[in-house]
Structure 1
Amino acid sequence: MPHDFTDRTVVVLGGGSGIGLEVARRVVAAGARVVLGGRGEEKLAAAAGELGDAAHWRRVDTTDQASLIAFFAGLTDFDGVDRVHHLFTPAASYRTGPMLELSDEDAESAFESKFWGQYYAVKHAAPLLAPDASVVLMSGAASVRPVGAAPSYVACNAAIEGLGRGLAVELAPVRVNVVSPGMVDGNLWSQRPAEVREPAAATWREANLLQRAGTEGEIAEAVLFLFSNGYTTGSTLYPDGGYALR
C-alpha cells in the first residue's frame, strides 16, 4: 500500500544528503511538506531546491542545544508549519577506533553527536509534536554485533536503542522507534578513500546473509514504515541484510 503523507510536516535533521535526503524525497512524493536541518547550508539549499515548494530548510547544529532550540522555535515561521508529525534524526559526525588508541575526545564524539544530539533534538521538538506524531532515531547494527574495534561506537548505538524505548514510554501516545541499518552503499560511504572502502565492503559482504551492502532507498523505506505504522512504538528495526544473525 502506498504511503500517504498528505498535509503532514516531516522534519529531517541531516536532510541535506544521504539517507535523510532520500527520506525527504519519498515523503514529499507522498504529499508531505518537509523541513530539512543540518550544518551544510549549500547542501540544504540544493536539497530543498530539488524537492521544490514543499521543502524548507534551516541551519542547525545538533551538538549545540541553543542551535536546536532556535531551529524548532523557528519552524512556525514557515507557511503551513504549525505542528511536527514526523521527525527523523540521522545527523551525526563522530570518530571511531580501538579504546587503547583513540583519544578521549574522539571516543566521546559518538555520544556527543549521535546520542546526545538525538536526545536533545527530541527534547526541543517535543512541544511541537502532534499527538499522533512519530519519531525515528538512527542507530546502527553494530549495537547488537560489534564490528571491528570501536567499543564506544558500539555502546553509543546500543544506548540510542535504549533511548528509543525510554522515549516511547515517556512521550506516548507519540510513537518513538529506531532504525538500525548495516553498511549502506550511498553518499557517506562513497566519500571514503577507495583503499578503505573496498576492503570494508568485501568484509561486509561476507558478514551478512544477503552478501551485499544496503541502499539509501532501502533504509528510507524502513523509516517510512516506522513513520506510518500506527501500532509500532519502542521498537528497533534492523535493515542490515541479516548482519546481526551471522
Structure 2
Amino acid sequence: MTGRSQDRLDAALARIGGRTVDHRMDVADWSAIEAFFARSGTIDHLVIAASGGAGSGPFAQLDLDQLAAGFDGKFWPHIRILQAALPHLCKDGSITLITSASGHAALPGTAGLAAVNGALAAMVPPLAVELAPLRINAVSPGVIDTPWWDQVPAEQREALFHGLAATTPAGRVGRPEDVAQAIHMLAANTFVTDIVLDCTGGANLPTGR
C-alpha cells in the first residue's frame, strides 16, 4: 500500500492489520515510482488510485492551467505507474484503475474532469487487448463519503449528500467499502477484463429513483 502521507498510511495499517506493508511514495516523483517497483517483487494485482480534482468549473471560464493540473494530478501518474509496473506484474494478474463517474456524467461544470477521467477509461479496451493475458479494468466511483469531502463545509456537504440520496436508486451516497468491493470483484474474477464498472448507486441512471 502506497501513499503520500505517512500518517494516513500508519492509520490505514492500524485498521487493516495482517500482512499489509506500506511504502510512502508521491506519484509526482518518477524516481520514487521506479525505486518502488524495482524492489517490489512480482505483483499479482495492481490498483492505481491516484486522485486529482483540478480542472472543474464552467467551460467558458475553465482555467486551462487548472485543467493541465488535473491531468498532471491523475492521468499522467496512472500512466507512469502502469508503465513502471508492467515488468513486475504477474502475466495472468490484473490491473484496476480508479477513474470517476464524472467521465460520463454529463453534468455542467465537469467537462474538464470528464476529459481527465474519460481519457483513462478510453484506454481500458485497447490495453485489455495489448496486455493480455494480463487483465485490465477500471472502477468508476460516484459520490463517495470520504475525507476528500471535508473541504466542503459540513452543512453544505450534508445537504448535498441528502439530496443525492433522495434521487439515487440505492438511497444513499457511497462508502469506501463499496469501492473496495468493486475493486476486489474485478481483481478476483479471472474471466473479466475490459470493464469500466460504475460504482454510483445508480446515480448515473437518467431517471433517478
Deviation, structure 1 residue 184: 0.9
In the aligned structure 1, how far is the partner of 2:163 from the partner of 2:16?
36
SS at match of 1:173: coil
Which residue in 1 is equivalent to 2:31?
66
- Whichever residue aligns with residue 75 of structure 2, its letter is F
Which residue in 1 is equivalent to 2:16?
51
How do 1:187-226 residues align onto structure 2 when only pairs under 5 Å count? 187-226=147-186
What are the Cα deviations for residues 95-139 of structure 1, in whole angstroms up to 9, with x where unaligned?
Answer: 222233343221222211211111111110111100111011011
- Identify if the C-alpha distance between structure 1 residues 168 and 154 changes in structure 2 by more than 3 Å, giving closer, same or farther: same
Question: Structure 1: which 5+ runs fail to align?
Answer: 1-35, 76-81
- Identify if the C-alpha distance between structure 1 residues 240 and 105 changes in structure 2 by more than 3 Å, giving closer, same or farther: same
How do 1:44-123 residues align onto structure 2 when only pairs under 5 Å count? 44-52=9-17, 54-75=19-40, 82-95=41-54, 96-123=56-83
Which residue in 2 is equivalent to 1:142?
102
SS at match of 1:100: helix
Q: Output the aligned Cα RMSD.
A: 1.9
- Identify if the C-alpha distance between structure 1 residues 46 and 167 changes in structure 2 by more than 3 Å, giving closer, same or farther: same
Q: Is the 8 A contact 1:59 1:71 kept in 2?
A: no
In the aligned structure 2, how far is the partner of 1:202 from the partner of 1:47?
28
Match of 2:89 among 108, 126, 129: 129
Instruction: Between 117-126 and 210-219, report the one with greater CA deviation.
Output: 210-219
- Identify if the C-alpha distance between structure 1 residues 194 and 86 changes in structure 2 by more than 3 Å, giving closer, same or farther: same
Q: Is the 8 A contact 1:99 1:107 kept in 2?
A: no
Question: Structure 2: which 5+ runs fail to align?
Answer: none
TM-score when scaled to structure 2?
0.89
Q: Is the 8 A contact 1:83 1:129 kept in 2?
A: yes
Which residue in 1 is equivalent to 2:122?
162
- Whichever residue aligns with residue 126 of structure 2, its letter is G
Which residue in 2 is equivalent to 1:10?
none
What are the Cα deviations for residues 77-105 of structure 1, in whole angstroms up to 9, with x where unaligned?
Answer: xxxxx210011111213322223334322
- Whichever residue aligns with residue 82 of structure 2, its letter is V
Q: Is the 8 A contact 1:139 1:157 kept in 2?
A: yes
In the aligned structure 2, how far is the partner of 1:107 from the partner of 1:137?
20
In the aligned structure 2, how far is the partner of 1:72 from the partner of 1:110?
25
SS at match of 1:136: strand
Percent of pairs with identical residues: 32
Deviation, structure 1 residue 191: 4.8
In the aligned structure 2, how far is the partner of 1:224 from the partner of 1:91?
17
TM-score when scaled to structure 1?
0.76
Deviation, structure 1 residue 190: 4.1
In the aligned structure 1, how far is the partner of 2:157 from the partner of 2:15?
28
In the aligned structure 1, how far is the partner of 2:115 from the partner of 2:58?
13
- Identify if the C-alpha distance between structure 1 residues 168 and 211 changes in structure 2 by more than 3 Å, giving closer, same or farther: same
